[in-house]
Amino acid sequence: MILKSNQNTLSFIGNKLSKTLPFFNGLLLLAAISLPALSLPRNTSLVIRDSPKEVLDQVWQIIYREYLDSNGNYNDESWLKLRKKVLSNKYYDSAEAYEAIVSMLKSLKDPYTRFLDPKDYKEMRIDTSGELMGIGIQLSLNEETNELVIVAPIEDTPAFKAGIQPNDIIVSIDDTDTDGMSIDGAVKLIRGEKGTKVTLGIIRGTQYLKVPLIRSRIEIRSVISRLNETSNGGTIGYIRLKQFSANAATEMRSAIIKLEEQKSQGYILDLRGNPGGLLEASIDIARQWLNTGIIVSTLTKDGINDFRRATGNALTNKPLVVLVNEGSASASEILAGAIQDNKRGILVGSKTFGKGLVQSVRPLVDGSGITVTVAKYLTPNGTDINKNGIKPDIKASLNLNNNKSFSAIDLGTSKDSQYVVAETALSRIMFNLNSTSYKQNTANLSFALK
């Protein structure tokens, strides 16, 4: 997720504007920042100040100036005509204006550009302390099918323990059908008090499952690390990054420094099931691995206007393999793409989720707000990740068919088939290639291991 802030805007890349329940977005980890209302010029021929029309006009102008159309449904001329139409109507209270705003935004057919009434906006502006109340899933909306899709369960949460998987489709919440339901609508139904029960109807492939879950308080540690020994006597630093929270970069730095002190000969960075998080965390973490090169670029309606680069402050230059899967999204894809395109390491696993849109959360004059798609991000080589994802250099699947007892504690061990492939790749780099030829040979090595 991209999260940037200045006095007028709060921006993020969300996993398809995903929402981890409740109040936690893979790329929607919003800090509790008080932001002033946006000041925009007004049409003096229309008296809208201090009226329900003021907030409506503010929304219109934000879209006009900043919206990045990713699906071909926006047209400047039509949008200008729409302004005249909506401002010529009478609105007797905020509720009527809100209805007009929702209708106006629906014409964009972008599920991630949406209106938030004051209550919803207040709930969105939460603390990124790493603790939340809920069931621990990250939810997205499929743009083509309009289905509610689970990006990934958060490790050690009720959803994770119940066996919820990436790409599970939620078709019901308790007794309510989710057909046509928005992300916010689903959140309101799933949210509840600690200890209460909610049942999700899930479609997984051709299976229909009913999954009962007990809501709970969830504490999240972003980084888990340890020193693993290889079969030939080498040492590997295994680092699992669960999410890009506000403290993730600090935790990553501590983990790398400790493993360097323990004489790790190489690293496996595990981004599987990581739904994303703060952009600044992903940039900071990328700089801990990369000495040079572009990390990510951002494309707005006015073209590419932002490049984020490494700063020559990498904490290690030892061989690196990154584990990814279909639950690796957004900020995870930024980091994985930067490592792959700069030939800093190789990717092992399965294709990533494919989320590359940037939303900006904008406060409005009456305490409401909107999220608006303002950009998309590209990998250093200019690859558009959105909907496409990132392909690993070495494909590997997590085979659980013969291991029904596999759990989170088995990740990064010999029971983890993807980790075994990653360890094999890393061992070959560590013991068959010298440090000066590492960069030039990682690409060739990936093909040799397929």
Residue 175 predicted with pLDDT over 90: no
What's the whole-number mean pLDDT along residues 348-368?
A: 90
Spatial separation of the C-alpha atoms in residues 345 and 340, rounded to whole Å: 6
Task: Quote the pLDDT of residue 403.
Answer: 58
Please classify residue 371 by burial: count the beta carbons closer than 10 Å to its beta carbon, then call 0-12 exposed, 13-18 middle and 19+ buried: buried
The residue among 389, 391, 386, 375 whose CA lies nearest residue 307 is 375
355 among known catalytic residues: yes
Q: Kindly indicate the confidence band of residue 334, based on its pLDDT and cuts at 50, 70 and 90.
A: very high
Q: How confident is the model at residue 169 (pLDDT cuts 50, 70, 90)?
A: very high
Phi, psi of 403 (to 5 degrees): -140, 75
CA angle 352, 353, 359 (to 5 degrees): 130
Average pLDDT value for residue range 252-258: 98
Q: What is the pLDDT of residue 121?
A: 83
pLDDT in tens, 317-330: 999 999 999 999 98
Percent of the chain with pLDDT over 90: 55
234 versus 13: the higher-pLDDT residue is 234
| Residue from 168, 284, 341, 366 carrying the catalytic annotation | 341
To the query of whether residue 194 is one of the catalytic residues in this protein, the response is no
User: Rounded to whole angstroms, how far apart are CA atoms 142 and 305?
Assistant: 28
Least confident of 103-107, 194-198, 385-389, 408-412: 408-412
Give the mean pLDDT of 228-248: 91
Say how far apart CA 366 and CA 399 lie, in whole Å: 52
Rounded to the nearest 10 degrees, the angle between the axes of helix 94-106 and helix 76-88 is 160
The strand pair at 197-204 and 169-173 is best described as antiparallel
The arithmetic mean of pLDDT across residues 80-91, rounded, is 93
Per-residue pLDDT at 275: 86
pLDDT tens, residue by residue, 281-326: 999 999 999 999 999 998 888 887 789 999 999 999 999 999 999 9
The full length of the chain comes to 450
Highest-confidence range of 35-39, 81-85, 385-389, by mean pLDDT? 81-85
The answer to whether 319 and 234 are in contact (CB under 8 A) is no
pLDDT value, residue 48: 54
Q: Which residue in the list 225, 355, 366, 376 is annotated as catalytic?
A: 355
Closest C-alpha to 394, from 350, 426, 345: 350
Fold match between 131-219 and 223-359+375-448? Answer: no
Average of per-residue pLDDT across 172-185: 91
Catalytic-labelled residue, pool 330, 332, 360, 427: 330
- Find the mean pLDDT for residues 352-361: 86
pLDDT of residue 405: 65
Q: How confident is the model at residue 10 (pLDDT cuts 50, 70, 90)?
A: very low
CATH top-level class of 131-219: mainly beta
**Mean of per-residue pLDDT scores for the chain:** 82
Average pLDDT of the residues in 157-164: 91
Domain boundaries defined on the chain: 4-124, 131-219, 223-359+375-448
Q: What is the arithmetic mean of pLDDT over 199-211? A: 95
Q: For residue range 17-65, what is the model confidence (pLDDT) as tens digits?
A: 333 332 233 333 222 222 233 333 444 344 455 588 999 999 999 999 9
Catalytic site residue 172? no
| 361 pLDDT tier (thresholds 50, 70, 90) | confident
The angle, 0 to 180 degrees and rounded to 10, between the axes of the packed helices 76-88 and 52-66 is 180
User: What's the one-letter identity of residue 352?
Assistant: T
- Please give the Cα distance from 269 to 253 (Å, whole number): 13
pLDDT score, position 188: 83
pLDDT band at 445 (very low <50, low <70, confident <90, very high): very low
Average pLDDT over residues 416-430: 94
What class, spelled out in words, does domain 4-124 have in CATH?
Answer: alpha beta
Quick one: tokens of 168?
């599970």
DSSP 57: H
- Its pTM surpasses 0.75: no
pLDDT number for residue 49: 57
User: Among the CATH numbers 3.90.1150.10, 3.50.50.60, 3.40.190.10, 3.90.226.10, which is that of 223-359+375-448?
Assistant: 3.90.226.10
